[in-house]
Chain A
Amino acid sequence: MKRVQRGEVAIPTSITRRLWAFFHRLASPRYFYELAGKLVPWLGWGTVLLLAAGLYGGLWFAPADYQQGDAYRIIFIHVPAAWMSLFVYVLMAGAGFIGLVWRIKIADVVAKTCAPIGASFAFLTLCTGSLWGKPMWGTYWVWDARLTSELILLFLYLGYIALESAIEDRRTAARASSVLALVGVVNIPIIHYSVDWWHTLHQGPTVFKLGGPSISLDMLVPLLLMTLAFKLFFFTMLLVRARTEVLEREANSAWVRETVTSQ
């Protein structure tokens, strides 16, 4: 049966039509489950390699900073975690939006599984930022615009998780939580631009700014390696979580019964 499906989509010739066909197949829970299962080991090993390289580069190879000494090494987890907390939120809201408008089951699954991972990144950002703030600024916490808006991001994630799990009916839960996620998107540009819009204790951007990054290359490379490692890690764990969620949601279909009893 799978053969026939593949044959059907092999007919279109243009790239756009092929892409459409791919997305259509991706929306099928079974195809998603199988493809994700194949991707997970690759992404997982990629994460391990990148993490090893990034940690070696950041903790050993990179020189100390001229102002902050070795304390700046927190940057290699703080900044990737912060970037990812924003990225994951945008992805979650985007998937939620697709689920709301087109009622695609996989989109709801992706939105739901983004939340706990994103929340953990936001939490990591706040913890490491706090531990960086104490020795450098002289305080664990201040209520400036950057720190407060990142804290609100964590609350948005937690609110999303609570709302999603409080509603029994899956469709209603997905709809309500997607609305919450979409409302919360306003916070994303606020976090990003807070350091430009208002006077904050938090410093301005280092990497993405006019005139290029103001960080020396042997510090930038480990930072980018760690960022890539975080990104791959996120996608690995997203797929693992999404597969479980697909199994649960499709529990009554024949292929799931086959899959769970075959092992």
Chain B
Amino acid sequence: MTSFHEFIHMGGFAFYVWTSYAIFALIFAWNVFQPLFHQRRVRERLARRSRGMPR
């Protein structure tokens, strides 16, 4: 790669290359955020439960 235009253009295969990388980014993002949100939900649920429970 020598120029930004060349980089975007991907020798005419821009659609295939960039769609692949977009799916990759989405899947990685899902893999990061889904467990983090899930963990927060679980912690909140358990915290509520254990506050209502005698120690």
Whether A and B touch (Cβ < 8 Å) is answered with yes
Rounded to whole angstroms, the CA-CA distance of A260 and B47 in the bound complex is 5
Residues of B within 8 A of A (CB): 1, 7, 10-13, 16-17, 19-21, 23-24, 27-28, 30-32, 34-36, 38-39, 42-43, 46-47, 49-51, 53, 55
Q: Which of A67-83 contact B (CB under 8 A)?
A: 69-71, 73-74, 77-78, 81
Q: Does A146 contact B (CB under 8 A)?
A: no
Q: Please indicate which of the listed interface residues B1, B11, B31, B53 has the most CB atoms of chain A within 10 Å of its own CB.
A: B31
- Contacting pair A74 B27 (CB below 8 A): no
Q: Does A24 contact B (CB under 8 A)?
A: no
Q: Does A21 contact B (CB under 8 A)?
A: no
Rounded to whole angstroms, the CA-CA distance of A251 and B12 in the bound complex is 55
If over half of A's interface residues share one DSSP class (helix, strand or loop), that class is named, otherwise mixed; here it is helix
The interface residues of chain B lying within 8 Å CB-to-CB of A71 are 10-11, 13, 16-17
Which of B12, B16, B31, B46 is in CB contact (< 8 Å) with A74? B16
- Contacting pair A260 B43 (CB below 8 A): yes
Which of A60, A248, A263 is in CB contact (< 8 Å) with B42? A248
If over half of B's interface residues share one DSSP class (helix, strand or loop), that class is named, otherwise mixed; here it is helix
Counted as pairs of residues, one from A and one from B, with CB atoms less than 8 Å apart, the total is 92
Query: Mind listing 16 A-B residue pairs with CB under 8 Å?
Result: A64-B11, A69-B11, A70-B12, A71-B11, A74-B16, A77-B20, A124-B23, A127-B20, A131-B19, A240-B35, A244-B35, A244-B39, A247-B43, A251-B46, A256-B46, A263-B43
Residues of A within 8 A of B (CB): 59-61, 64, 69-71, 73-74, 77-78, 81, 116-117, 120, 123-124, 127-128, 131-132, 134-135, 233, 237, 240-241, 243-244, 247-248, 251, 254, 256-257, 260-261, 263
